[in-house]
Structures are given as structure tokens and as C-alpha cells.
Structure 1
Amino acid sequence: MIARQTPVHRSRSASSFVDIYRTPSVCPYQLQFNANDKTPKYKQIVQSIITDIERGVLKKNDQLPSISELSVEYYLARDTVEKAYRELRERGYITSVQGKGYYVQSNNTTKLKILLIFNKLSSYKKIIYYSFLQALGDRATVDLQIHHYSARNFEEIIDKNLGKYNYYVVMPHFATDLDKADYRKVLDRIPSDELVLLDKDIPEMVNQLSVYQNFDKDIFGALEEANDLLAKYNRLVLIFPSEGNYPVEIARGFRSFCAVYDKEFAVKENAVDERLESGTAYVVVEETNLAEIVKKVRQSSFLLGREIGIISFNETTLKELLGITVVTTDFETMGRTTAALLLDKKQIKVKNPFYMIRRASL
């Protein structure tokens, strides 16, 4: 039988989620029931056992509790448990041995189950997603969900999926006006050896895998490396929309660079009302504002790369064709690195590469 820990009984009220550890002598297996779930009880038994087989909690040849044990422990009719076991046997997940009991037959534990939770979908997120899948190969199945910067959405995702996956790979980008406690308490519910932080690290959280960008140091370092090109510009402007939920560390790193290198600077919401001035270089986060600055330069007498400079965030083929200088993280490497470390069961923090691609716009 499968060893379990000392009993810790919790409320069986209709509003609670039944999640009880029992003594091995009574019923050495843990089922999950939701008393408010309209799903038939036998179906909940079926799903609980299948989930544990897929997660590797139950392995081939593990013995399951008897029909009597489950009936007594969960106050279920014997017919309910018999119906669940019959379905599991018919679907090939378990087998029965006369006089001995029921055993796990399916060997689905070779594939990891991973839930990937992004803050949003974008072309850059797709690069991470596909490189992550490619690096995992056939060793894992991956489901994707989006929390849209909402701690409440994130909590609902975890409520529905906690305990169903081997790993939870989370981009912890949330609305900038949100109290950190709102999402930290949800992250803290995920076991540290199952949690992977992607793109953004949370320094105070330890003992879990993290592949991240260091936004303030990244932008500071990239601008510093281009100091020779920036020497001809006495003013820098960061176009940084507050409604975009972009990491505030970007603006912090930008301001630090300007202070250290004695540059006049400004941080603005958008480029619509911007009046171009010779000797100004723009650092642009969103592509709509990039297009606006490029249009204004083309309508003016200023020369791009001499009197007006442009640096855009994140590489695209169009920016390459237009000759736009970019600062970018290596999204492909982020996906590959995360997959490789996850497969190796590493619990370390790794900074993802960030660099500048110099082109004629600077």
C-alpha cells in the first residue's frame, strides 16, 4: 500500500474542499472531493485517480484502497465506488486481482504535466511558448492559460488546477497598482518544488526555479553599452504607457542611467503630442508609439540616427528591415532554458540574456 502521513482531518462542511490524510491502517490514499461540485461522486473518484496517475502520485502496480475502505472513509455507497472502479478498469487505468484488490495498471507517469500561466498573449510570448514546447519534446504535455494581469483570475486558475500538474510555470506580472500580497498568497499555495517563475523573479521567494529578466539592470546595462552612440544626444525620452502594465523597473533603470551619465530626460505616456527636438533619443516600449515617432521623423527635416535617435523594445523582423535599434531579451533562450532546468529538476535562479542590436536609428 502507499505510505501516507499522519491524519490531519479538516471540515467536511458543504462549503469546504475535502482533502484528508488518513492513517495507513484505515485507507492509505487521498481523494479530492468538492462537496458543491455537481459532478457525480463516482466521476470525481475516477478523475482523482486518473489525475494522480498522470502526476506520478500513483505508479504502476500501486495498490488502491478497497471498495469498503473508500465507502467507509468518504461515506459513499458501495455501488458508487464499484461504478468508479469499473470505469477505471474499462479505461485501462486499473486492474483487479481476485482476493487481493485493485492495482494501478496504466503507466502514464513518463510524461510530465505542466500548466503554463502567462500574463498575456503576444508575439514574444509565442516565441517563449514554442521554444519551451520544443525543448520539452515528448517528455511533457503543456496546457496554457492567461491571467491578464489579474490576481483574481490567477487565483481562479490555481483553485481549479492545484494538484493536477507536476509543474506550474507562472509569469508573475500583475497590475502595477495591485498589492503584492494579493498574488503572493496564491503563489505561496503552490509547492516550491512545483513552482517555476518565468520572465520576472520575486527575490523574496526562494527554493524554486526562476528564469527571469532583471529589468532595471538590463536597460541600464544596454544603454551603458551604447554610450558611444548616445554621446551625440543630450536628451533622452522614455515613452512608457502606464496603462500597459509594463514593469516599473524599466523606468527606474532608465532614470538611473540618465542620472549617472548626466543626461536630460523625460518619461512620457505616449508619443502623440511629442514635439521633436534635435539631440533627442527616444526609448520606446510599445510599437504604436514607435510608429508615431518614426512618422514624425519622416515628416520633419531631422535625420534619424543623427539628430533624432530611436531605441525600441524587443526584436521583430519589421524593425530589422526598418533599421531600428532594439534592446531585447532572448525569448527563445528563455523557453529552452526553463524547459532544460525543469527536466533536470533544478531549483535555481537564472538571469536570461538581454542585449542591444545596433542599427541606423541610433
Structure 2
Amino acid sequence: MYLLHLNHKSKTPKYKQIVESVITDIERGLLKKNDQLPSISEMSAHYDLARDTVEKAYRELRERGFIVSVQGKGYYVSGGNDGKIRILLIFNKLSSYKRLIYYSFLQQLGERAQVDLQVHHYSAKLFADIIERNVGKYNFYVVMPHFVHDLEKVNLEEVLKSIPADELVFLDKDYPNLPNKHLAVYQDFQRDIFNALLSANELLQKYTQMVLVMPSDGNYPTEIARGFHNYCVNYKKAYQIIESASEEQVREGTVYCVIEETDLAELIKKIRQTPLLLGQNIGLISFNDTTLKEVLDITVITTDFEAMGRTAAQLLLEGKKEKVKNPFYLVRRGSL
């Protein structure tokens, strides 16, 4: 008997659920061309559905071209998904960096997959709604698990466990508490920040103080601050963590590590209003590289966003269940 995906608590009419279940399984490759579906009598008896409900669903599937009826034989699947992998990609937000990940992911997959994109905007509740609507409809669910809002409203671990482990992929950040093995391409923010600063240790020697400019809205991993703190403590640097550069009086002998580009622009303006020289008696390090930062000669600490998307796609295509740490490094430029 065909395994029908029915939710008796759902407000969606039963005939629509039958239609969606069959279409989803065709698109996922679970139902293939010429596969036979149960008869109307078999389906209604097995799932305790009215014959009219099943008949209405089959009629819609036939009208939409997903199945055909053969006189005296039954109902058959008329097409397939052309062998494409169906992937739901769920970002925490849209940005220029996410765009790099997205396009490298698509490019590596080529014509072998169909990718749908949704955004949870750091909301655990919105993420839970996305999964509830889409679980069972895709071969893989690629998730950026950065959540800040609505955490008290949702059991996030249960939501993630509702996705089969062999279909779940974490991107940018791992979620190690889940019991079953899943795929991940991740950053180790705390260790990465520490090692990136350590790689520039000789350049940082000329500065007496370090300041991390990190907004307190919770949208950035706290591990960034811990990595910064660990470096400063281990290498005996006076340090400070502030939320914004708007009220900061720039000081000689200070190197600023800046996450937001608005804070970077604010600090550049303020430094230009002083006799201080970037890379000599005041320093700037920005998070995540861009062409503009390269033109402005700004030192950056960054992950390789294109490699992240490319690696995730390749692991999916090869059927590997691995956890891969994404490359992370410091790019030395004149601002340090």
C-alpha cells in the first residue's frame, strides 16, 4: 500500500493532502513513472477515507498531468522528477555574503538539483513553521541554525529532530547536540577568531589596546566575543567590547575589530578627522571580506563563503555524511 502522508489535525482538506502527498513523492523520486497507485477503493478503505475524497484527489492529479487512468487496470504515475534532488535551503537572513554561498551552492549542484530558498530571520517560530509546512517534501534540508527570537515558544531540538538525520545539513554553524549524525559545513567561531588574531600577532604588538565593536542585538554568535576575549587575555592585551562606534572617541595605540559595516564606516570617518595613521598608530580589522574593503586596504578576518556553498553541495552529491570545518583566515592589508 502506498504510504500516504496525512495529517488529521491539519485544516487542509483531505483530498488536497492526498494530492500534495502524491506530487511530493513524485518530485522526491519516491514515485516513478509507470508506478501504480492504489485503487480508489483500496485507498479509501486503508486510510478510512470517503470514496468521494479519494476520487476528487485522483481527478485533480489526472487533470494536472501527474497520473493517468488506464481502463480496467487503475491509476499510474505519468511522469517523474527527472532524477533531480530537491533541496530546501533555509537562511537566517539575506546579505551579500549569503548571496556568495547561495550562488556557489547552485553552481556546484548544476542541473542535478532543484533548490528552493526560504529565510527564518533568526526566528525559531518562523523556522518551525517552515519545517512543518515542508517536512517530507524535499530530499535535503540545508539550514543555517542562527536563532535569536521566539526561542521560548519552540522546542527547537524537537523541530530539528523532525527532519530525518540523513536529510539534514547545517550550514555556517553546527548543532552538535542532536543524537543522530548529520552533515555540516561550519565555522568554529571562537577558535577561528582566536587563531586569526594569533596569525597577526607580530602586527598587533605595536598596539596597546584592542576594541571589539559588536552589536548587542544577539544576531551574532557569542563565540566571536569569547574568541576575542581569549586572545586578549592570553597575549596580555587591554581590551574592551562595545556595542557601537557612534560614541567612540578613537584613540592612538588602539586596534578596532569591527563586525558591522556601518561601524566600520563610522570609524574610518573619525580616524580621518585626526592625525592618526591607519596601520601605524591606530588599526582596523573588519569581519568578512568585500571588494570595497580590498579597495580601501582594510585588513579582514573572514571565512570562505564560496567554499562553504561549494563544499555543502559536493557532499550532498557524493552522499557523504561528514562535518567539515570551513576555511577561515586573516587577510593582511594596510589598516593593520
Tell me which residue corresponds to 2:165.
192
TM-score by length of 2: 0.94
Judge conservation of contact 1:29–1:64 (CA < 8 Å) in 2: no
Report deviation, 1:33.
Answer: 4.2
How far apart, CA to CA, are the structure 2 residues paired with 1:216 and 1:181?
Answer: 26
Tell me which residue corresponds to 2:240.
266
Judge conservation of contact 1:112–1:166 (CA < 8 Å) in 2: yes
Tell me which residue corresponds to 1:18.
none
TM-score by length of 1: 0.88
Judge conservation of contact 1:64–1:103 (CA < 8 Å) in 2: yes
Report deviation, 1:178.
Answer: 4.2
Tell me which residue corresponds to 1:55.
28
Higher relative contact order (CA 8 A, sep 6+): 2
**Does residue 29 of structure 2 align to residue 29 of structure 1?**
no
Q: Give SS of 2:186's match.
A: strand
Tell me which residue corresponds to 1:12.
none
Query: Which amino acid counterpart does residue 259 of structure 1 have in structure 2?
Result: V
Query: Which amino acid counterpart does residue 224 of structure 2 have in structure 1?
Result: I
How far apart, CA to CA, are the structure 1 residues paired with 2:292 and 2:117?
Answer: 28
Report deviation, 1:218.
Answer: 0.7
Structure 1 residues 244-263: aligned runs within 5 Å: 244-263=218-237
How far apart, CA to CA, are the structure 2 residues paired with 1:46 and 1:178?
Answer: 34
Compared with structure 1, are the counterparts of its residues 173 and 32 closer, same or farther at alpha carbon in structure 2 (3 Å cutoff)?
same
Identify which of 159, 172, 176 aligns with 1:203: 176
How far apart, CA to CA, are the structure 2 residues paired with 1:178 and 1:91?
Answer: 40
Tell me which residue corresponds to 1:10.
none
Tell me which residue corresponds to 1:16.
none
Compared with structure 1, are the counterparts of its residues 78 and 180 closer, same or farther at alpha carbon in structure 2 (3 Å cutoff)?
closer
Report deviation, 1:101.
Answer: 2.3
How far apart, CA to CA, are the structure 2 residues paired with 1:356 and 1:199?
Answer: 18
CA RMSD, 1 decimal: 1.9
Judge conservation of contact 1:53–1:109 (CA < 8 Å) in 2: no
Structure 1 residues 154-173: aligned runs within 5 Å: 154-173=127-146
**For this pair of structures, how many residues does the alignment match?**
335
Unaligned runs of 5+ in 1: 1-26
Percent identity between the two aligned chains: 64
Report deviation, 1:269.
Answer: 0.8
Tell me which residue corresponds to 1:112.
85
Judge conservation of contact 1:175–1:245 (CA < 8 Å) in 2: yes
Judge conservation of contact 2:124–2:154 (CA < 8 Å) in 1: no
Could you tell which deviates more after superposition, 43-52 or 340-349? 43-52
**Does residue 17 of structure 2 align to residue 44 of structure 1?**
yes
Identify which of 263, 270, 273 aligns with 1:299: 273
Identify which of 276, 294, 302 aligns with 1:320: 294
Report deviation, 1:202.
Answer: 1.6
Judge conservation of contact 2:300–2:332 (CA < 8 Å) in 1: yes
Tell me which residue corresponds to 1:220.
194
Compared with structure 1, are the counterparts of its residues 82 and 180 closer, same or farther at alpha carbon in structure 2 (3 Å cutoff)?
closer
